[in-house]
Amino acid sequence: MKRATHLMLGAAVAMPIAVPLSPGLALGAIWWGMVGGGFPDWFDLRSDLRKPLRLRHRGASHGLPFGLLMTAGVWFVLRLLSQTPLDLGSITIQVPADALRPWALAFGLGFLSHILGDACTHAGIRPFLPLSDWRFWLTPKFLRGKSNGPLDFIVRFIATTIILAGLIAYAFLR
């Protein structure tokens, strides 16, 4: 899947979490879903840790153990910021206590959406790296596509539909 598709999938899986929340918390949930959706590729393709840790694309950063660890890390940082505001001079960052669960969950689901999206490609994923090298595909062989093929368009269309439905639901539930 393309980067934009992963970000849209992250937003789409965060929508059910966002709909019952207040506007600020809902926007945060969607943002954290998008962050989770893009995180595996950012970590192994663009981060400064790529070279020192010898990270490969779709390596351990695309595994469930890493996703659980990062989701726990996001929750921990959000918890710290809810208990102790971060003072940056003229700006103070404090996370509302009721944002911890939905934002961390949105990140985790966004991360999972990335993994499942990549599991629809020809290369598939190795979900248990570094514990196991077992490879997994979500779709049968004849439906697997390239990262920029028709499957990417279809997934992007579905994600857009879910996002629009979530926005409509949000508007009518307010």
Residues 71-78: contacts with CB within 8 Å, 24+ apart? 71/36, 71/104, 71/107, 71/108, 71/111, 74/32, 74/36, 74/103, 74/104, 74/107, 74/108, 75/100, 75/104, 78/103, 78/104
Candidate from 38-52, 70-84, 131-145 with smallest mean pLDDT: 38-52
Rounded average pLDDT over 167-173: 92
Report the pLDDT value the prediction gives residue 80, as an integer from 0 to 100.
95
Residue 58: how many other CB atoms lie within 10 Å? 20
In this prediction, residue 99 has a pLDDT band, given cuts at 50, 70 and 90, of very high
Rounded average pLDDT over 71-84: 96
Rounded average pLDDT over 114-132: 91
Reported pTM: 0.90
Identify whether the C-beta of residue 44 lies closer than 8 Å to the C-beta of residue 61. yes
Average pLDDT over all residues of the chain: 90
Report the pLDDT value the prediction gives residue 108, as an integer from 0 to 100.
98
Candidate from 24-28, 107-111, 153-157 with smallest mean pLDDT: 153-157
Pairwise CA distance, residues 78 & 30, whole Å = 15
Report the pLDDT value the prediction gives residue 147, as an integer from 0 to 100.
72
Query: String of b and e for 121-160 (b: at least 16 CB within 10 Å)?
Result: beebbbbebeeeeeeebeeeeeebbebeeebbeebbeebe
In this prediction, residue 55 has a pLDDT band, given cuts at 50, 70 and 90, of low
Rounded average pLDDT over 120-135: 90
